[in-house]
Copies of this chain bind each other. A is one copy, B any other.
């Protein structure tokens, strides 16, 4: 097993910035995650090893981990810190097999950082990859579920050390409903371990190298800041994306629909007040329209960054007057198959009249 790279103190800030960029406005605030990871690196006294997906043997067991619940709750009801590790150990005992490595459940936002803390606690390496390549709001919106990995057994744990194992659940949608209900009873946020899978199944569905991508995006931003080059343009070049728009936020509208923060924002160009971009979001940014014409849609990534320092801006932090750049980045190929688009394309978010036209990468 080759260790690809290690996560050290030097990577933490870069990972937080890069996970924010890949979070496309969602995935949760990274600030608490950064503090937790820095503390855990101090406690353990060594970095977290990162391995390639292809270094996991076919018959070894791995599990994806993350948190379930509203990010707004997650910031106020801080986790005890070892919930994920407890749930992983309970599943190991249930299945009578040890885990070989930890998989990040979602590379966007705070969910990219928590799994590394858990891997350090468990003494396990973390796999370089995830099943979203970005952030999405629901359990079934990941490549493990899309490409047929079983959601069970899965486990939820809360800050009182309560651990619940879902031993048999008929569908990913039912898993989502039962886990959501129990999460609410657990106080609004809970640690989630799902799915447990063999190395073979993981390798068939994971989006590779997204942890490295997040760190590299963050380092690109930090380097741009130091050398006074344009951070948004640097991110676009690194990711094969493009800067769609530069301007000022002049309007933000939010409403809560079925438990999601749906809304939209309007931006006007720095040079030309008639040049307008509108972006719809549902936790994550979904659809960008430039002077009325759709120019980028989910699953491609739409991220708002501060125009000066390239800091990614979550949908919860949008406000009048922010001067920003709008980035568009091509989604991983795994999210653009017909099978995937049925689950994560515009129609899955209620945009039945919007056709997904994939961005063409400016380089690869």
Contacts and interface: CB of A to CB of B under 8 A. Distances in A.
Given A181-B185, A185-B177, A164 B165 contact: yes
A88 to B, nearest CB: 12
A162 interface: yes
One complex includes copies of this chain to the number of: 2
Contacts of A167: 90, 94, 155, 163-165
Interface residues of A, number: 24
Interface stretch (A22-30, A168-176, A311-319): A168-176
Contact of A182 (B155, B163, B170, B178): B178
Contacts of A186: 178
Contact of A170 (B162, B165, B177): B162
A161 interface: yes
A356 interface: no
A160 B178 CA distance: 12
A35 interface: no
Interface string A261-286: 00000000000000000000000000
Contacts of A178: 162, 164, 182, 185-186
A86 B165 CA distance: 15
A282 to B, nearest CB: 23
B162 A164 contact: no
A250 interface: no
Contacts of A163: 166-168
A174 to B, nearest CB: 7
A162 B174 contact: yes
A184 interface: yes
A228 B170 CA distance: 54
A28 to B, nearest CB: 24
12 contacts: A94-B94, A94-B167, A96-B96, A160-B170, A162-B168, A162-B170, A163-B168, A164-B164, A164-B178, A177-B185, A181-B182, A182-B182
Given A163-B167, A163-B168, A164-B178, 6 more contacts: A160-B174, A162-B178, A164-B169, A165-B166, A181-B182, A181-B184
